[in-house]
Each structure stands twice: as C-alpha cells, then as structure tokens.
Amino acid sequence: MATLTVRLIRSFEHRNIKPLVFRNVDLELTTKEFIRLINKEIQERPGIPPPFKKYSYDTLKVLHSAHGTKPNDLVINLEDDDILILEEDTRLRDCRGVAHETELSYFKREDYDKYKANPTLKW
C-alpha cells in the first residue's frame, strides 16, 4: 500500500493545479483502475472546485518520486514522456517511478501537447 499525491492540472499556462492525496493505494491496481478511482474521488471529495470536477482528464504522468529530483518546470515535468506517462494496462507497481510517496500529474493530453510545444505561463 502506498500514499500517492495526484496533481489535477486544469491549465498549464495559468498553473491551475489542485493536489489530492490518496492513502493506502494498492500498487497492484492498473493505471486504468487507478484513473477510475481518481475520477470518482474528483466527483465525491468535498472541497474540489467545480471547474476541476467538470474537466476531462485522461493522462497520468510521474512528476517525481520520493527522494528523487524534482523538475525545473513548476507545472509538470516535460521530459521522458515515453517512460513517465503511465500506460493504461500496466500495474502501478510496474510503472517506472511509482512507489510510496510518488507525486503524479493528471491532465488532458491535448492540453499537455500544446503546452509542451510552447511552455509559456500566463498571469
């Protein structure tokens, strides 16, 4: 069982981020099963603003693992997509970088691709 922090990223440019902590996560879950759990929590957990509840997230990516280095970009790690983006049918335990106290980013892939092509912030 692990504690994982999931950062809901609604807007990369505006840094609209809402962290959710998940305790006692079974690392035998597949990414797809964990995404279902996250989506359920987004709808049911109190304190999540409506714009975050209504957004259509579809991708999980490792931001950093416990005792590992953090990315320079404050919003998301823009490197190593092929390694750090979690595949749907892979067990969390088998995903590189996923362990107790890992921080994951949950976002819409289309928005991520646009931000990655031009990583600018808007205020």
Q: Where are the domains of the chain?
A: 2-117
Supply φ then ψ for residue 51, to 5 degrees: -60, -30
The predicted-structure confidence for 11-38, as pLDDT tens digits, reads as follows 988 889 999 999 999 999 999 999 999 9
Band the pLDDT of 45: cuts 50, 70, 90: very high
If 0-12 CB within 10 Å is exposed, 13-18 middle and 19+ buried, where does residue 70 land?
exposed
The predicted-structure confidence for 61-110, as pLDDT tens digits, reads as follows 998 776 565 655 567 888 888 888 999 899 999 988 888 999 999 999 99
What CATH architecture does domain 2-117 belong to?
A: Roll (3.10)
Q: Is the pLDDT of residue 1 over 60?
A: yes
What mean pLDDT comes out for the span 35-48? 94
Nearest C-alpha neighbor of 63 from the set 8, 122, 123: 8
User: Model-level pTM?
Assistant: 0.89
The span from the CA of 18 to the CA of 9, in Å, is: 7
Helices (H), the chain: 31-44, 50-53, 81-84, 109-117
